[in-house]
Amino acid sequence: MLVCCGLVTLDVVQVVDALPRPDEKIVARSVSATFGGPAANAAATAVALGVPTRLVTAVGDGPFAELVRRELADCGVEVVDAADGTTGGRLAVSTVLVTRATGERAVVSTNASGFGDLAVRAATGGRGLLDGVGPSDVVLLDGHLPGLALTVAREARERGAAVVLDGGSWKPDAAEMIGSCDAVVVSADFRPPGIEARDVLAAVAALGPRFVARTRGPRPVEVLDAGERYDVVVPRPERVVDTLGAGDVVHGAFAAAAARGASWRVALEQAVVVASRSVAHPGARGWAGAAGSPP
């Protein structure tokens, strides 16, 4: 089993020929509204790869929340809403502009700021967030909702489960969260304060995890694995339609492979293949229903 803990959003995605200039109005080629967020996309990725997955998050109430719940259920993701029973929690909303010719995206998001400490209060109430999780399972954190994530990480360690972190950017609780993890996969933008890019792997490993990797888009992934350094080559995609969620796909596929018993190295090698194929399709989940998609 895989448990993903962190952010879910409502993503409003519009495909455009070019980003608008100041005070310019443009017409989108297409528009869609669906769930997003690192933990949610990772969970959907894992389910698409055949791994039963639970998403521990804060959804809250309102019509947007109902849409997100319905779509997560349609993807086969089990949802535990740590904000359930509270009122006033505002689901995070992201506005995404995807440039048609390149697949590049620009994102504006509220993240989880609308919940404050709602998720933390619910999580510490003993609601069985990790029921059924044991030594052969994996818990993936995305760095959001830190109070909830740290609660989940501590319980996961007590149960003997492996804990993985998706490090998108450095956050105030990052050091404590990293210290709770067995493996950490960070983005090229992840940078501890005062640390140069070339020293990121060593700085993160010094906080505790045995396996640390740093993705860099289409460039090889840098790895520090129990003191050994090596690169994992990212396959070149046949085409690039949309890079939205590609990093989330990496983390979901990585954690899913680990939950199936793969070593960290093999899990990463498999994950970059899935992510490379994903960018040839629209959205973070377009690859899952496409002919020839990964099993």
Q: pLDDT tens digit string along 133-167?
A: 999 999 999 999 888 899 999 999 999 999 999 99
Place of tokens 């994530």: 149
User: What is the model's pLDDT at position 241?
Assistant: 86
User: What is the model's pLDDT at position 86?
Assistant: 54
Least Cα distance to 59 among 41, 83, 40 occurs for 83
Give me the mean pLDDT over the 177-192 stretch: 96
Rg of the chain (C-alpha set): 18
Residue 51 has φ and ψ, to the nearest 5°, of: -105, 120
Least Cα distance to 130 among 82, 92, 168 occurs for 82
pLDDT class for 89, splitting at 50, 70, 90?
Answer: low
Name the least confident of 48-57, 87-96, 234-243. Answer: 87-96
User: What is the model's pLDDT at position 136?
Assistant: 94
Q: What is the Cβ-side half-sphere exposure of residue 93, based on CA atoms within 13 angstroms?
A: 10
Q: Mention every residue, 6+ apart, whose C-beta is less than 8 A from residue 59.
A: 8, 65, 68, 69, 79, 81, 83, 84, 89, 91
Structure tokens at 187: 């983005």
Q: Mention every residue, 6+ apart, whose C-beta is less than 8 A from residue 121.
A: 86
Above 90 in pLDDT, residue 104? Answer: no
Above 90 in pLDDT, residue 224? Answer: yes
Global confidence as pTM: 0.88
Q: Tell me the residue length of the chain.
A: 295
Structure tokens at 44: 């959907």
What is the end-to-end Cα distance of the chain in Å, rounded? 17
- Give how far Cα 255 sits from Cα of 19, 46, 63, 120, Å: 34, 8, 31, 24
Give me the mean pLDDT over the 47-68 stretch: 91
CA–CA distance, 66 with 222 (Å, rounded to integer)? 39
CA–CA distance, 201 with 103 (Å, rounded to integer)? 29
User: What is the model's pLDDT at position 88?
Assistant: 54
User: What is the model's pLDDT at position 186?
Assistant: 98
User: What is the model's pLDDT at position 291?
Assistant: 46
User: What is the model's pLDDT at position 103?
Assistant: 81
